A and B are shown apart, each in its own frame.
Chain A
Amino acid sequence: MTTPRWWSQPFPPTGAIASEGIRNQLGRPPVDPLTVFVRETAQNSWDARLPGVETAYRLELTTVAPTHRPTWERLLTPPAGAQEHLGVGRAVRTPNLRLLSVVDRGTKGLGGPTRADQLAVGRRDWISFVLNVGEKRDTEMGGGTYGYGKAVLYRLSRVGTILVYTRTPEDHSGRLSSRLIGIALGSSFDSSARVDTDSRPFTGRHWWGDVREDHVEPVVGSEADDVARALGLTPFGPDESGTTLVVIDPDLEEFETPDEAAQHLAETIAWHLWPIMLPERGAERLVPSVVASGRSFPVPDPARLYPLRMFVNAYRRLPTDSATTLESGNPRKRLGRFALEKAVVVPMAPDAASEAASYAGVEGDPHHVCLMRSPELVVRYYEGPTTSSVHSVYAGVFRADDELDSVYARSEPPTHDNWVHEQLTGHERTFVKVTFTRLREQLAVFRAPVQQAVSTTSRATLGAASNYLGGLVAAAFAGVAGDGTARATASRGAGSGTTTTASPGNADGQGSSTRSASNASGRARVTVLSEPHIEESDGGIVLVARYGVAAEGPVRLDARLSVVTWEGREDDPPAGAARPRVLHWLVGRTRIAGDVCTVEGPAEVDLLVVPVPDTATEMDIVATPVMDLSDAGAA
């Protein structure tokens, strides 16, 4: 039985890339390493998919179980000479060592030769993933071009170490066979400080496996399965092929608990992989899942999650007539298809956007275009102009034409999250540049100010505007806006301003916001103590206003309710249309039904009104002092 060991790569006479170079190949530090991690690994899994079966993509956040820990320590502790350059030695001695695994099934695994100096006729997944760096990928409709993005795996691990456990059909027999190897990227170093070996420089790349003379072969076949089982890695079913990548001691940065991190991963998956998750793709789709400490975190359904669902709607429109084809004029060329989804929404609270959405570039309500090319992986969310109203949002999708796929691919940085025309020359440069020009043209309409809206009332003073608009928002939620007109009435009564203070001592009636009865028999002053507002009562929506009755003695209150229309107070409702009605009055704790109620002043009275959905309601009360006590009985 082969016992896997660590082997450190010395610099060959011709020189080699040092591990620092590999880790820096992402170009810039990623905004969120977990986002890059999801994008990169999912892309690898997707490129390796087998035809006719759904591709399972599972992220697992686990810790090394106590029963497996001795095995980890025994097998993965580096030899003394490399100890200080390989952090994994320290990691495996700590209890509760955390692991982040990417498990893909329904994929073909990493196949091909296991030595980079062997000429590969068929597949060379192993070579390009495990050994080489910067090799061109030529997967048909593949997501990536160069495998630089895998550097994020090493960056994510605090000790720069991953394990690769794969099962793939053998080249000649086609039988499924397992391979297991460990890869670590430390810093380049030399062994001059040690006396027990020859001094020589090392690149900082290490492999863990079946160590040979000058390279490392993976542990293969049943031995690989045995070692994997001893380490507690997710095993393969009898006919399963695929790959499990294990990031040792992942740096979860700001996420304090694995649960939070898992939640974030699940949402990140939705934001970046939704085009290949959609059910209409049939078996040609990615089925993602996230598991943390044995608990499963469902990946949100992109067709339901706001605002992502708007992008999904736009995407589904791409083949229809409502989408447009963007073209470049000189030279004339189809660039791709563009579709747009618009909506009127209640704006999101300022901090309601999830971190996954923010990292994807959509912070809050969308005004973005999702860019993608033939593999239909999200390249980025391109930010367009914001609309002139917070209620009005849009989401677009641009999918590059298949013919230009390679052009757009070449314009992408290693993380595949942008199209940079500066990287190209000639016509290709023009195509990418013009794409953004066309997108800006398409979105220019949103920059224009909206048409002058027709004013629906001129009674509210300017100071009331904010209150008035607040009522609209309430209407959007509950289907009623009960306060607009009552307030207008209030401001009319008070002469200026919108807040009416109820002061019983205010003798001249200026504080009265409700029409007082002005009959000769006397005046009963009524003030609005609390403006009409929406409340829930027994599962229904009601409008509630509180009035103060200042007069002494019994006062008869008449509720005058009406729907406020564009034309003002509605006198004649449409056929069969409902009208607002009094639910009841509330005097102290006593409920009084009916449109009329008699109270003993001075008193405070609540009026509860059942509004009509999708209308504005005007509430007025008319107060009449009751001279003859026999009238009081009428209520």
Chain B
Amino acid sequence: MQASSPQPVMVIGAGIAGITAALEAAESGAQVVLVEKDPSIGGRVLRSYHYFPKHCPPSCGMEINTRRLERNPRVRVLVNSQVTKATKTDQGWSVTISEAPLYVNDRCTACGECSKVCPAKVADDFNLGLCEVPAIRLRHPDAWPRRFVLNREACPSGCDACAKACKYGAINLSAKERSETLQVGSIVLATGWKPYPLEKLTELGGGKIPNVISNVHMERLASPTGPTAGKILRPSDSKPPKNVAFVQCAGSRDVKHLPYCSAVCCLASLKQAVYVKEQLPESEVTIYYIDRRTPGRNEDVLTKVAAMDGVKLVKGKVGKIESHDGAIVLRLEDVEAEKIVDATADLVVLATGMVSNLGDMASQIGIQVDADGFGLEDPQAALFVAGVARRPEDVAATTRDATGTAAKALVAAIRSA
């Protein structure tokens, strides 16, 4: 760049926000370090089956993004890595990164021989722990960097079957943690979100009734790379549901749980209603909502789904969900009619909200967060926030936000140089 920044920009978190911010800055000529705690990039979006409003797979855009990352000599991607210390300096920030032991290195060809011989099973973190996988495996088909990962703590004592099976010398079972300190001009926090825990929604049967699941669980059920290979099945008996209820604002807009609106759940449920109807055309779908929040052209999704046969949208806040003789009963406060109504379903999807991951990181770096943990940018300190770490927002808003945040971080890096 003409006003080039001698110090790189550090982006923390390689979900859609972080990847976008890193690439947009790097394609503009900046040096970028992208730090991700997981062994592969992609964050939450790759766990979704489709994006709204286009009903298209996230891996489509991610394919382009990974190719952009591969081609770009200015981005350094550090996976398995976390910030352990960050200190403000005159020229920006001094950040210490700790990289977890790299048991499987770049020599890995993803051939899969190690997985075949692995005796240990672990919960599949990519699939929200809904199924088991070998302790050494490719995290998911689109994993990038494309190499296997090992949950070392799951290895039986003395077992080195995988290392022996690997013909390419890619496995080092005694790999050590690594640490390095980097000088950067500015920092973008793109640490994303986690789903509000189902277990906290006990009044809605969360964690108690097997056929009460979360919306993120539904994404995995619909996804061909999910635990049921894309089949929407009830957890209790692995049978397809006949009567699916979506409960909006499960936790969100609720002072007992999340006082804010999570901004994406209405569209996520409308989208998931399409998953159900496309796969199970005979099923009945009911969406219980307070307000249907589908801003902009996303209104098209509401229009389309509302017109589908066998889909009902009912205004009413679900206050209680119980299981009676195998049937799930939803107790509905019909605010307008001022009465309580009971409804039934055989699969309930709680549209749980998004919780910012910025929590711990915030105190470590000293960024201000609001009462709910969403970050507030601090240009003076060369600290910026992008994506859901900043505010509840959908992917389309996140990619715009992250591109703009990349520009802000670059301006700050230029200024602090």
Are both chains from one complex? no
Listed in ascending order, the chain B residues whose CB lies under 8 Å from chain A are: none
